Structure 1
Amino acid sequence: MENNFLEKKFRLKKAGTDTRTELMAGLTTFMTMSYILIVNPSILSETGMDKGAVFTATIVSSVIAMLVMALYANLPFGLAPGMGLNAFFTYTVVLSFGKTWEFALTAVFLEGIIFILLSLFSVREAIFTSIPIVLKNAVSVGIGLFIAFIGFSNAGVIGQGDGVILTLGNLLTKNTFVFFFALFLMAFLTAKGVKGALLIGIVGSTVVAVILGVSSLPTQSIFSLPPDIGPVVFKLKFDHIFTFEMFSIMFTFLFVDMFDTIGTLTGVATKAGMLDEEGRLPNASHALMADAIGTTVGALLGTSTVTTFVESASGVADGGRTGLTALSTAFFFFISLFFFPLFSIVPPESTAAALVIVGLFMMSPIKEINFNDFTESVPAFLTITMMPFAYSIAEGISFGIMSYVLLKLLTGKKKEITPMIAVLAIIFFLRILSPLFPF
């Protein structure tokens, strides 16, 4: 009876999946996203926010956003407060500009309201649809390199060098052993066609990490009540909402969140074969609404911008195709409220290996790019390379769109430029030039 209900709600057979695959994919997505439960409270607490309260706000806002993604959009994407956006919140808005964290939360809240309006009028969906298929393929590849870079960095395999931008890290440590153990276990299981290969690799390498002393079992009870959310909930202040500072900060949150989300949806959906013949993602507007609602609710609860996570690619790589994957991820986020000490033993090296493997999975659309047509291959190349090099999905899309429009114009192929893509290119050019006009 339960399976019939799930089939009817999520249309599993039509998506070529089943209940077990979806639930396992949701757990895999959770495992690769779970670092945010530690990192987000740590970063936001530097503004003076209560770390325990932010931990609870992080989980509750993520669960709400994923419920919308699961039950309204029926898509397998996980959402949570985004990395980069939380850093901008803390280190730029609060610590550099000297604003209060309440001011920053208000900017996030206003951004969320604007997102809801843009989603209601299908503006964000129009942007998603307008991206040429060559750039959709390039976004998938770029995200693959980007998350692989994050994985290698989190594992300490690469890092900043003395006098060089990047260098090889120390490979003769227990931590890197755990990483490579996880990496090749996942690769082996994937090669054998084992379902849940990434999850098994994460769990297996966590056991190895505990044995080696890289990670340790909780010293306290594995069960704990959630920290009180009171210190950060409903702390918005609207006394500066009509200032230029508020507008500029809100616009920065808006820009990064919008194109990070569009980039993630584009890349992961392209790789998973979820786009239709016209390059559209079914229920894209619903997915974007989940993001907008998550951001708005998250600001009210006391956390930075909630966005669609690129780590969702790990669950998709494990076979997740419907909202049941997102529902499963939401469930594990919810129970982590009470069992966080247990989840906290998973070392970053284990999830880092999953990101590297997923990076490989995301590379396959590169075969669809016509490298003989330089009006397409150059924008695709810039999209791919700028994501890891600029450490931003949004910047990769920005460079890809600007170069696409410019080259099509210069080579007499302006018919291939849609009005929306032209408008986006102009906006991106103006954003780059804006420091020259500080008014």
Structure 2
Amino acid sequence: MLEALFKLKAHGTDVKTEVLAGITTFLTMAYIVFVNPSILSMTGMDQHAVFVATCLAAALGTAIMGLVANYPIALAPGMGLNAYFTFSVVKGMGVPWQVALGAVFLSGVIFLVVSLFKVREAIVNAIPHSLKLAISAGVGFFLALIALKSAGVVVGSPATLVTLGPLHDPKVLLAIFGFFLIVALECRRIHGSIIIGILTVTAISIALGLSKFEGIVSAPPSLAPTLFKMDLAGALNAGLAGVIFVFFFVDLFDTTGTLVGVAHRAGLLDKDGKLPRLKKALLADSVAIAAGAALGTSSTTAYVESAAGTAVGGRTGLTAVVVAILFLAALWFSPLAGSVPAYATSPALCYVAVLMARGLAEIEWNDLTESAPAVVTALAMPFTFSIADGIAFGFISYAAIKLLAGRFADLRPAVIVIALLWVVKFALFP
């Protein structure tokens, strides 16, 4: 049944590998079930209800991605989007969280409509090959920065922006050890090196008393405080058009960047560099956004941590289905999931960053009109701490450089349109 549903042999994988990949992906992104409720609760939303909404939205979106699109890509409420929801819309603009949820729901509906008419598909397929390669590498650099920050290897500095963290901290040393262990196991061709590294660091951390073993089982909290509490009438107010636009635009490019980056690393792009079954993947994302808003969470998006699963061999939707099942299990086993500290998953993300950076080798370095925008794209993602902004800078620089260099024939109309839309976004919605 699994072979017929996911075409495992055609993708050069098997059930064991897919299950292992699903577990690995889940462990690298399980933090979201704790971080997302913490952020959204600052708006006045019930933290326990948001926890349930987060698990359910992630499970639903990921299951659709696996069963319908057959991609090993997991979805969950996005980190940057939940921060925009909380600090910019609710706290910054004074918009009630119910109205903000309505705006998220409407952005999901817009996604669904444009996906049905292949607008999003056309946008993704219009991305130049050099930018696709740069997006893959940039997502890797972005992952590395997140990992280094979570591990404490890199910390903020008012003088130099970032600086080296406290290397004497046992947690930092454990994260560094975890990275060395994963790379060494990979060199020895030991299957499941990433998950072994995560579990080893977690076990040592608990043994040393650095992290707490939270237990195994607890009853799921009630979803009632946030379920169907979105205010659509309030969100339709003309003053919130910009908010809906930003939700739509940012998630469009966060999801697009993640799909392209992870799919490229997994070898899932076709000979023309396009994503097969892209429409189904985008529909899964659209449905997840609207469903998540109805449940009570901010925009759901594809997760770059999915690359951790593809790194251990995940190639089909079975990986995503395993992740979805684990998100449902997290409703009852949340204490167990919480036993994995962030610095235990950081080494896995750093290792994935190493793999994803290889895409830069395929860029046409002798053609500056291709290589310069690619470098801008890859570097902008970690330095702006945003996949969407990195893609924006890539499109704008690609169009501007090609035009100024007189290479008009290289430019597709869609690239110019997308670049202009980003210019408008930065000008009107900074």
What TM-score results when the alignment is normalised by the length of structure 2? 0.98
**Contact 1:107 1:250 (C-alpha < 8 Å) held by counterparts:** yes
1:77 positional shift: 0.2
What residue is the counterpart of 1:327 in the other structure?
321
C-alpha separation in 2, matches of 1:367 and 1:164 = 30
1:162 positional shift: 4.0
C-alpha separation in 2, matches of 1:263 and 1:321 = 18
Change (3 A) 1:435 1:290: closer
Note if 1:89 corresponds to 2:82.
no
**Contact 1:174 1:212 (C-alpha < 8 Å) held by counterparts:** no
C-alpha separation in 2, matches of 1:176 and 1:369 = 34
1:370 positional shift: 1.3
Q: Which string of whole-angstrom CA distances, capped at 9 and with x for unpartnered residues, describes residues 30-84 of structure 1?
A: 0001000110000001111111100000011111111110110000000000001
Match runs of 1:244-259 below 5 Å: 244-259=238-253
SS of 2:301's partner is strand
Note if 1:261 corresponds to 2:289.
no
Report the more deviating stretch, 170-179 or 31-40. 170-179
C-alpha separation in 1, matches of 2:25 and 2:239 = 36
What residue is the counterpart of 2:289 in the other structure?
295
Q: Which of 28, 38, 44 is matched with 1:42 structurally?
A: 38
Note if 1:190 corresponds to 2:186.
yes
1:242 positional shift: 3.5
What residue is the counterpart of 1:396 in the other structure?
390
C-alpha separation in 2, matches of 1:285 and 1:402 = 25
C-alpha separation in 1, matches of 2:423 and 2:158 = 34
Note if 1:98 corresponds to 2:100.
no
Change (3 A) 1:254 1:435: closer
Q: Which of 349, 353, 356 is matched with 1:359 structurally?
A: 353
Match runs of 1:75-224 below 5 Å: 75-218=71-214, 222-224=216-218
What residue is the counterpart of 1:225 in the other structure?
219
**Contact 2:100 2:235 (C-alpha < 8 Å) held by counterparts:** no
Note if 1:339 corresponds to 2:333.
yes
1:233 positional shift: 0.4
Note if 1:418 corresponds to 2:412.
yes
What residue is the counterpart of 1:286 in the other structure?
280
C-alpha separation in 1, matches of 2:422 and 2:374 = 16
C-alpha separation in 2, matches of 1:272 and 1:9 = 19
What amino acid sits opposite 1:265 in the alignment? L
C-alpha separation in 2, matches of 1:414 and 1:276 = 26
Q: Which string of whole-angstrom CA distances, capped at 9 and with x for unpartnered residues, describes residues 295-319 of structure 1?
A: 0000000000000001001001111
What amino acid sits opposite 2:337 in the alignment? F
- Give the share of equivalent positions with the same residue, in percent: 46
What residue is the counterpart of 1:70 in the other structure?
66
Flag structure 1 segments of 5+ consecutive residues without an equivalent.
none
SS of 1:76's partner is coil
1:431 positional shift: 2.0
1:421 positional shift: 1.0
**Contact 1:214 1:347 (C-alpha < 8 Å) held by counterparts:** no
C-alpha separation in 2, matches of 1:349 and 1:142 = 22
Note if 1:270 corresponds to 2:264.
yes
C-alpha separation in 2, matches of 1:189 and 1:162 = 38
Note if 1:29 corresponds to 2:25.
yes
1:225 positional shift: 1.4
What amino acid sits opposite 1:81 in the alignment? P
Q: Which of 14, 20, 29 is matched with 2:16 structurally?
A: 20
C-alpha separation in 1, matches of 2:189 and 2:122 = 37
C-alpha separation in 2, matches of 1:373 and 1:419 = 21
1:403 positional shift: 1.0
What amino acid sits opposite 2:282 in the alignment? L
What amino acid sits opposite 1:240 in the alignment? G
What amino acid sits opposite 2:400 in the alignment? L
SS of 1:117's partner is helix
C-alpha separation in 1, matches of 2:62 and 2:277 = 14
C-alpha separation in 2, matches of 1:250 and 1:195 = 44
C-alpha separation in 1, matches of 2:71 and 2:4 = 15
Aligned Cα root-mean-square deviation (Å): 1.1
**Contact 2:379 2:390 (C-alpha < 8 Å) held by counterparts:** yes
Q: Which string of whole-angstrom CA distances, capped at 9 and with x for unpartnered residues, describes residues 223-263 of structure 1?
A: 11110000000002133333232111111111110000000
Change (3 A) 1:184 1:435: closer
**Contact 2:102 2:234 (C-alpha < 8 Å) held by counterparts:** no
Aligned length: 430
Note if 1:433 corresponds to 2:424.
no
C-alpha separation in 2, matches of 1:365 and 1:386 = 16
SS of 1:166's partner is strand
Note if 1:317 corresponds to 2:314.
no
C-alpha separation in 1, matches of 2:406 and 2:173 = 54
Q: Which string of whole-angstrom CA distances, capped at 9 and with x for unpartnered residues, describes residues 377-422 of structure 1?
A: 1100100110000111111111111111111112221111111111
C-alpha separation in 1, matches of 2:160 and 2:358 = 31
What amino acid sits opposite 2:101 in the alignment? L
